[in-house]
Amino acid sequence: MTRAAAAVGRIDWPIIGLVVALGAISVVNLHSTSVAAGSEVYLRHLYWLLLGLGVMAGVAAVDYRNLQRMAPVFYGGVVVLLALVLVVGKEVNGSRRWLDLGFVGFQPSELAKLAVILTLASWFQRYPRPAGYGLRDLLPVGALLGVPMFLVLQEPDLGHTLMLLFIGGSMLAFEKFERRAMVTVLLASLAAAPVLWKFVLRDYQKDRILTLVDAEADTHGAGWHARQSRVAVGSGGVLGKGHGDGTQVAGGFLPENHTDFVFANLAEEHGFVGGAVVLSLYLLIILGALRSASLARDKFGGHVAVGVGALVFWHVIMNMGMVLNVLPVTGVTLPLMSYGGTSVLTVMAAMGLLLNINLRRTVF
């Protein structure tokens, strides 16, 4: 067998198929929201998906050992962009999250997820601790994770701040730690919770959390999105109302139906069955990422695969929880399903990392 044939045999075709399937479903779903709003957002989403396929192929083609060497530079560049967005970023509803390039805008906090994945994976590769990492070892890890988290929180963007924390925490769970280090981190986190509530969270973020506790407290204000989303999901029943026949979107009751609450539109029009299909596709991607981690040829590849799996998992959990009103509204998108160019390209690049790891799981 030639080297080229061996490489083709290692391409993770199931991952590619899952990505294409989710992309196709997302375009169909966004078509109905576009018709209701009189826009062509589904076509723009299709363009981003097609561009994303090229990004996925490009990331897969580069030996990930080169990505490991480039990780510090990429991380530094993302930190600069996160700082820059606080100064010259486009302000929308009191938040600065976007850099406007004139012809297109992009969200540096999306790139921060990839930067954290690659940088933490590189650090664990360089500093292995077979006996377990101690508290002192966690300090540089905390710094690498804390800097982008702090900058994203200043935008303010609590959703992406939590995403960075959960992705980093999932990668840490892939390693062995001394018991004292784990207990210390746990106690410090508990002690920090009231401080974060009083001095860090903004008033509107607190309102969203309080609305979660009492869904009827502010149904026409902070609780409006969650309430209308639950109505949409519940009214879909088993099979849904049919494509384009959803009333929540058509009636203008469900805001952000093409981004944060895109799943609510899917559930209303395609019911429990449609929602279950999408969730199954995400589950298969996450299982594929864990499989890639187990087959990776080194610690760097394993950690990158875990980070990518965590990125998809936590996005789905936080978005679904928000849509079903079991988690606060944080503005976290649903991977590949929600409209957003930077989000789509970030997820596609992450899928390219999985393909990359599988292509090079053995030396050739």
Q: What is the pLDDT of residues 287-333, one digit of tens each?
A: 999 999 998 888 999 999 999 999 999 999 999 888 887 777 777 89
> Would you state the pLDDT for residue 308?
97
> Would you state the pLDDT for residue 265?
87
* Residue 15 resides in a domain: no
> Would you state the pLDDT for residue 364?
42
Burial class (CB in 10 A: 0-12, 13-18, 19+), 73: exposed
* Residue 7 resides in a domain: no
* Residue 58 resides in a domain: yes
> Would you state the pLDDT for residue 241?
85
> Would you state the pLDDT for residue 211?
60
> Would you state the pLDDT for residue 304?
95
Q: 336, 278 in Cβ contact below 8 A?
A: no
Q: What is the pTM of this model?
A: 0.88
* Residue 2 resides in a domain: no
* Residue 80 resides in a domain: yes
> Would you state the pLDDT for residue 75?
96
Helices within 96-244 (DSSP H only):
108-126, 135-153, 158-172, 179-195, 203-213, 224-235
Distance of alpha carbon 158 from alpha carbon 163, whole angstroms: 9
- Residues of the chain whose pLDDT is less than 70? 1-9, 36-38, 93-94, 103, 195-227, 249-257, 362-364
* Residue 312 resides in a domain: yes
Q: What amino acid occupies position 348?
A: M
> Would you state the pLDDT for residue 28?
92
> Would you state the pLDDT for residue 55?
96
Q: Where are any strands of DSSP class E within the chain?
A: 90-92, 95-100, 105-106
> Range of 326's domain?
21-359
Distance of alpha carbon 311 from alpha carbon 109, whole angstroms: 13
From the CB of residue 25, how many other CB atoms can be counted at a distance below 10 Å?
Answer: 18
* Residue 338 resides in a domain: yes
SS3 at position 92: strand
- Would you say the C-alpha torsion 296, 67, 306, 129 has a positive or negative sign? positive
Provide the number of structural domains found in the chain: 1
* Residue 144 resides in a domain: yes
Helix (H), strand (E) at residue 10: none
> Would you state the pLDDT for residue 56?
96
> Would you state the pLDDT for residue 198?
67
DSSP-derived letter for residue 329 is: -
